[in-house]
A and B are shown apart, each in its own frame.
Chain A
Amino acid sequence: MSEPFTRRDLLHKAARGTVLATLGGGAAFLVQKAHGQVVWQVDAARCLNSRLGVVGVEACRLCTTECVVALSAVRAVNEYSRCGRCNICPAYFNITSAVDERGLPSEKLCPRDAITRKPIGKADPEDPANNFYEYLIDEEKCDGCGKCVMQCKEPLGLGSIVLRIRYDRCVDCNRCAISRACPKDALIQVPVEQALRNDGVH
Chain B
Amino acid sequence: MQYRQVGVIGGKGAGPGQFGASLRGIAVDAAGNIYAANDSQITVFDATGRLRRRWSTSQPVHSVAVTGDGAVYTGQIRQIEIFDSAGKLVHTWRDETLLWRVTAIGFVDGDVLAGEATGRAIRRFDSGGKFRNNIGTDNPLNGLLIPNGVVDFGVDAHGIIHAANPGKHRVERYTPAGELLGHIGHFHGTDPAGFGGCCNPTNVAVRDRIYVTEKAGPRAKVYNFSGDLEAVIAADVFDANCKNMSIAVDRRGRVYVADTVKLAIFIFEPEAV
Q: Which residues of A contact B (CB under 8 A)?
A: 5, 52-53, 55-56, 84-90, 94-97, 99, 103-105, 121-124, 126-127, 129-132, 154-158
Known: A90-B197, A156-B197. 5 other contacts (CB 8 A): A55-B216, A95-B197, A121-B142, A131-B141, A155-B241
Residue B30 CB within 8 A of the other chain: no
Are the C-beta atoms of B140 and A156 separated by less than 8 Å? no
Query: 19 interchain pairs (CB within 8 A)?
Result: A53-B241, A55-B241, A84-B167, A86-B145, A86-B147, A87-B145, A88-B169, A88-B198, A90-B198, A94-B189, A95-B189, A95-B197, A96-B189, A103-B187, A127-B141, A129-B167, A130-B141, A131-B141, A155-B215
| Known pairs A89-B198, A105-B189; A129 contacts B168 (CB<8 A) | yes
Are the C-beta atoms of B169 and A129 separated by less than 8 Å? yes
Shortest distance from the beta carbon of B248 to any chain A beta carbon, whole Å:
21
Residue B190 CB within 8 A of the other chain: yes
Are the C-beta atoms of A87 and B168 separated by less than 8 Å? yes
Shortest distance from the beta carbon of A134 to any chain B beta carbon, whole Å:
14
Residue B188 CB within 8 A of the other chain: yes
Q: Which residues of B contact A (CB under 8 A)?
A: 139-142, 145, 147, 167-170, 186-190, 194, 196-199, 215-216, 218, 240-243
B141 contacts across to A, CB distance below 8 A: 5, 122-124, 127, 130-131
Closest Cβ neighbor of B166 among chain A residues: A86
Are the C-beta atoms of A99 and B189 separated by less than 8 Å? yes
The contact of A156 among B139, B194, B216, by CB within 8 Å, is: B216
Closest Cβ neighbor of A90 among chain B residues: B198
Are the C-beta atoms of A130 and B139 separated by less than 8 Å? yes
Are the C-beta atoms of B241 and A52 separated by less than 8 Å? yes
In the bound complex, what is the Cα–Cα distance between A84 and B148 (angstroms)? 8
A129 contacts across to B, CB distance below 8 A: 167-170, 187
* Most interface-central of A88, A103, A124 (chain B CB within 10 A): A88
Shortest distance from the beta carbon of B103 to any chain A beta carbon, whole Å:
16
Are the C-beta atoms of B186 and A155 separated by less than 8 Å? no
Are the C-beta atoms of A156 and B187 separated by less than 8 Å? no
In the bound complex, what is the Cα–Cα distance between A84 and B199 (angstroms)? 10
Are the C-beta atoms of A104 and B187 separated by less than 8 Å? yes
Are the C-beta atoms of A97 and B189 separated by less than 8 Å? yes
Shortest distance from the beta carbon of B259 to any chain A beta carbon, whole Å:
12
The contact of A86 among B139, B170, B198, by CB within 8 Å, is: B198
Question: 3 smallest A-B Cβ distances: which pairs?
Answer: A84-B147, A156-B216, A155-B243
A103 contacts across to B, CB distance below 8 A: 186-187
B147 contacts across to A, CB distance below 8 A: 84-86, 157-158
Are the C-beta atoms of B241 and A86 separated by less than 8 Å? no
Shortest distance from the beta carbon of B102 to any chain A beta carbon, whole Å:
19
B215 contacts across to A, CB distance below 8 A: 155-156
Closest Cβ neighbor of A91 among chain B residues: B198
Are the C-beta atoms of B145 and A132 separated by less than 8 Å? yes
Closest Cβ neighbor of B168 among chain A residues: A129
Shortest distance from the beta carbon of A130 to any chain B beta carbon, whole Å:
5
Shortest distance from the beta carbon of B161 to any chain A beta carbon, whole Å:
18
In the bound complex, what is the Cα–Cα distance between A84 and B166 (angstroms)? 11
The contact of A99 among B142, B188, B240, by CB within 8 Å, is: B188
Shortest distance from the beta carbon of B14 to any chain A beta carbon, whole Å:
22
Are the C-beta atoms of A130 and B145 separated by less than 8 Å? yes
| Known pairs A96-B189, A99-B187, A124-B140; A87 contacts B241 (CB<8 A) | no
